Each structure stands twice: as structure tokens, then as C-alpha cells.
Amino acid sequence: MALKIGIIGAGIAGLATALRLRAQGHEVVVFESNSYAGGKLHALHLEGYRFDLGPSLFTMPHFVDELFVLFKEHPRDHFNYLRKENVCNYFWEDGTRFEASADREVFVKKFSTTFNEDPNSVVDFLNNSALKYELTSPLFIEQSLHRLQTYCSPKTLKAVLKLPSLDVHKNLFKTLKSYFRNPKSLQFFSRHATYNGSSPYKTPGIMSLIPHLEMHFGTFYPKGGMHEISQSLYRLAQRQGVSFHLDEGVEKIILNSNQKRVRGLKTKLKEYHFDVVVSNMDVVSTYRKLLPTIKAPERTLRQERSSSALIFYWGIARTFEQLDLHNIFFSDAYSEEFKAIFEDKTLHEDPTVYVNITSKHTPSDAPDNCENWFVMINAPGNYEQNWDELIALSRERIIAKLSRILNCDLAALITVEHILDPRGIEQSTQSYRGALYGAASNSQFSAFLRHPNHRSALSNVYFCGGSSHPGGGIPLCLQSGKIVSELIANDFNID
């Protein structure tokens, strides 16, 4: 049975959902309020520099390849990437530097030597990280958490039974302390909490599975930059007959008389009828703006939001041999930094700084002998802080920090600048408070409290993207599209 399906939002999850539903034979129409597809995976061109505006880390590329294979297209004909031999370069104020190799044996040897850790402890941690992923991915990543049949498979039952031993009852930082002694080692692996916008001092220890994604699956650089991920899928969807209405945002989800079923969508131009609607819009914005008359799941919507970001896009009139694609400059006050973000809702005076430089692999992203720097610090969501003052202070602190560690006058090298703060993220992506990952994962039950991909209260409305299950980040958003397509196939008895 072919359905007419409307999708709200052309972010990475919306694109993935559209492709999977189109592969099932449905008529799919995607509405996007911006003039471009891709959501946070967008790009900026400024005075000879190209910047990826959004996510900068690419793992598990096979989730992208799967979408081309669905239509019997060879992925390498349309989308290419290279595997990084060096995952990331790390810097501390005391002069300590560490290059994280993607080769496990090399990593263990260098890590244990640099930080004076027992190699066996490093190996034990990585093995435990792999075990956690293997046990929990069938439950938390591959299926809906909110359907009874999910818990009937042997893999899922095994994961549920193992949960008490997977460090869900203590935070990530405490979990790490059972393996490592050096504060820098703890800081190194604590940073993975930021991959889902959480605090290592609050998020459960099960999140120590994240390093496995980098060490086992690898980290990659998409040729043409991160923007090419969304654009290659957008082009694929166009080739396969998905219809896109760009610059035509949805203003209302139209309900039937009993308000338990959707009839269609209203945009600024007209009304459209659909059998099924999928929202790739932030769940809070979906309910508050598009479904204001129905009873919303308030407990879910009131969950603590994930962190946001303050990003400076700088054209740098010099090249730096000691830097790679990914670079992290750690704070000397790590716990205080996360307290500032999640409790005080402000920016710490000594932030951890992430610098991404795509011109390391795509020289045309910057003029000759220059580099394009994506400089980001974790930030609280938009709670109406004095952002102009916070941005000015943070800019000075970031420049001073990077100048000290890199032994240069960075301010004199900045020739181009663009700034994106939580206000801009909220405005351009409809992400509530500018949160990058929807709800934060700062409790042991956060995965189960995340908004489901389908609610029985609205029989033909589904949810995908970073604010719904399984969560934020490119791999999980792609998986949300797969979960939604499988739910629709099951609910409408589609083979």
C-alpha cells in the first residue's frame, strides 16, 4: 500500500527518512523553512574560505552508504570519504600533547606512555567500551524503545539483563576512575560526554561505549566537507523522486475533529493532505508551534536540554603544522567548566576549545598559505543570557589560550570572522534553546525518557532527528530515519 507522506524538515534525519520511505514505494514530500536542505549540516563561503557550519565529526559512514544501496546505486559514485589515521590532536596548557592514533595498538602504547597508565588498564577499558556497544546497540540504537516487540528479541533481553553491570548507576567520570589515574587520562575520555551534549560528571557510565565508535569504526573525512553528507543525500532523494518544498516552512499540523489523527500540513502557501506525517523538527517546537491544541508530553518536553555551542569561523592567515583536522585544547578546570554550562548557564573563563580545519584535506577551503578554522566551545542553551557580552569575553579568552599554547599572536592572523551562538542555532534550526542534541543525557533514565519515534496519541505522526530516539549526532539521526520507516511499514502492514 503506497502512502502519501509529508516530512517536516530536511535535516539529515528528514533526508534519511524520506529516502527509506521512498524506497518502500511511498509518495514523499519534504517541507523545509530554510532555502537549503541539510539542517545543521550546512556550509558558509566567506572571502575565499569555506566553512562547515554544523557537525564536524564523521563516524559510521556505512549508515550513509546504506541509503545509496537501497536504490542499487554505488555509494562511491556519489559520495566519498577517507579514513583518518590520526583521530585528533590534544593539547594542554602545561605543554603536554597527544596525537590519538586510529590504530589500536599504537594508541594503547602511546597513551600509556604519555599519561603513565598501565597498558592493561587501557586495553581493559577499550574492551569494556566495545562490550557495552555490542550489548546495547540492538536496544538503544537499532529499534524503538517504546514498542513491546523490541523487548522480545534475545539480543534485547540480553542487553536489558546486563544493564545493571553496564555502569548505568554511576556517572562517566566515576566509571573512568576505575581504569585511569592521571587527571589528563580522565579528561581525555570524559570528553566523549560532549558527543551527546552532556556532562561527564552527570551522564551515566554506559556512555563509555562512545570511544569504541572511534577506535573500531574509525573517524572519517567526507571529500568536499561535512556539507557533502547532506548534499549527496539530497541529490539522491531528488533523483529518486522525493519532492522538496524549500523555503516553505510548516505552520500547522492539521488534525481531524477528535484531534487524534492528522489530516495534513499547512504551510505559508497552502494546505496539503497526507496519510502520514513525520516531524524532523525539534519535538518541543513541534508541539509548541505546530500542535498547540493537543495535550503535549510535558514530562518529556521539560527534560534538561543538551549543551549548545558558541562557534567562531575564522580565516587564518597562516598554516600550522602541529594541527590536524580535529584538535582539542583542554581546560585546566574541567569540572568547573561543566558546572558553568549546566548549572550556572554561562560560559567558563577557561573553556575547552575545539578547532576543526578542513583545509588540511581540502586546500581549496582556504586561500594559499591560509587555514579555515572552525573554533567551538561548549555552551549552555539560550536562556536569554547577555550573549553579546559572553561572546566578547569568550573571544578574548579563546584567542589568549590558543596563542599561549601555539606560541603565536592569533588575533593578528584572523582575517575573516563569522560567529554562531545558541540564539542563531535556535533560530536557523528550530532547536529548542539552541540545544544541539535535544534532551541532555544527564541521568541514567535519559535514553528511556527521550521522545519516542511514535506516540499512540497521534496515530499517524512519527518523529525523527536528534530530539527523538535514539538521539543526536549524525549516526543516530540516520538511525532514527531507519527506525521510523520500519515503524510505518509495520503499522501500515507494508511488506
Which pLDDT belongs to residue 167? 73
Domain boundary among the residues 192, 213, 234 is at 213
Task: Tell whether 189 is covered by a domain.
Answer: yes
Contact present, 239 and 198 (Cβ < 8 Å): no
pLDDT value of residue 296: 93
**Is residue 163 in a domain?**
yes
- The three cell numbers of residue 442 are 544527564
- Asked if the structure places residue 286 within a domain, the reply is yes
Helix (H, G, I), strand (E, B), or coil: what is residue 272? Answer: strand
Q: Are residues 279 and 209 in the same domain?
A: no
114 shares its domain with 209: yes
CB atoms within 10 A of CB 495: 6
Select from 301, 344, 252 the least CA-distant residue to 438: 301
Q: Is residue 165 part of a domain?
A: yes
Judgement on whether residues 231 and 206 belong to the same structural domain of the protein? no
Residue 254 to residue 140: CA distance in whole angstroms: 31
User: Is residue 369 included in any domain, yes or no?
Assistant: no
Domain finish residue from 188, 213, 238 = 213
Coil, strand, or helix at residue 99? strand
Q: How much is the pLDDT for 456?
A: 85
pLDDT at 448: 63
198 in any annotated domain: yes
Rounding to the nearest 10 degrees, give the CA dihedral for residues 36, 41, 42, 43: -150
* Separation of alpha carbons 290 and 250, rounded Å: 8
Q: Give the model confidence (pLDDT) of 372-409 as tens digits.
A: 999 999 999 999 999 999 999 999 999 999 999 999 99
Q: Are 396 and 312 in contact (CB under 8 A)?
A: no
Task: Evaluate whether residue 411 is within a structural domain.
Answer: no
Task: State how far the Cα of 476 lies from the Cα of 66, in Å rounded to an integer.
Answer: 14
pLDDT at 206: 86
Radius of gyration of the chain (CA): 22
3-class DSSP state of 325 = coil
Q: Which domain holds residue 196?
A: 106-213
CATH value at residue 267: 3.50.50.60
Let me know whether 202 and 113 are in one domain. Answer: yes
| 205 and 259, same domain (yes or no) | no
- Is the same domain home to 250 and 278? yes
Pair (297, 241) in one structural domain: yes
Convert the pLDDT of each residue in 132-151 to its tens digit: 888 888 666 766 555 555 54
Instruction: Kindly state whether residues 446 and 473 are assigned to the same domain.
Output: yes
To the nearest 10°, the Cα dihedral for 336, 338, 344, 345?
A: 140
Strand 326-329 vs strand 86-91: parallel, antiparallel, or unpaired? parallel
C-alpha cell recorded at residue 239? 533523483
- Do 159 and 194 belong to one domain? yes
Give the CA distances from residue 24 to residues 17, 68, 187, 263, 352, in Å, rounded to whole numbers and listed in that order: 11, 14, 45, 21, 45
Taking the C-alpha atoms of residue 390 and residue 22, their distance in angstroms, rounded to an integer, is 45
Question: What is the percent of the chain where pLDDT is above 70?
Answer: 93
Euclidean distance between CA atoms 184 and 203, whole angstroms: 19
Q: Hey, is 293 helix, strand or coil?
A: coil
Q: pLDDT value at position 213?
A: 87
Q: Specify the pairing of strand 219-222 against strand 58-59.
A: antiparallel
Name the residue with cell 596548557: 93
pLDDT at 158: 63
Collapsing DSSP states into helix, strand and coil, what is residue 414? Answer: strand
Domain count, the chain: 2
> Tell me, what CATH number does 125's domain have?
1.10.405
In a domain, 468, yes or no: yes
Under the phi-then-psi rule, with left for phi > 0, alpha for psi from -120 to 50, and beta for the rest, what region is 466? alpha
d(CA 10, CA 37) in angstroms, rounded, equals 5
Q: Beta partners for 100?
A: 88
For each of the chain's 495 residues, which pLDDT tens digit applies? 799 999 999 999 999 999 999 999 999 999 999 999 999 999 999 999 999 999 999 999 999 999 999 999 999 999 999 999 999 999 999 999 999 999 999 999 999 999 999 999 999 999 999 988 888 886 667 665 555 555 456 666 666 666 666 777 789 999 999 999 999 999 999 999 999 999 999 998 888 988 988 888 899 999 999 999 999 999 999 999 999 999 999 999 999 988 789 999 999 999 999 999 999 999 999 999 999 999 999 999 999 999 999 999 999 999 999 999 999 999 999 999 999 999 999 999 999 999 999 999 999 999 999 999 999 999 999 999 999 999 999 999 999 999 999 999 999 999 999 999 999 999 999 999 999 999 998 886 666 678 999 998 899 999 999 999 898 999 999 999 999 999 999 999 876
Please check whether residues 205 and 126 belong to one and the same domain.
Answer: yes
Contact between 238 and 73 under an 8 Å Cβ cutoff? The reply is: no
The answer on 298 and 248 residing in a single domain is yes
Q: Are residues 240 and 284 in the same domain?
A: yes
Q: Say what the pLDDT of residue 165 is.
A: 64
pLDDT at 450: 87
Q: Which of 213, 245, 260 is the last residue of a domain?
A: 213
CA angle 36, 60, 432 (to 5 degrees): 45
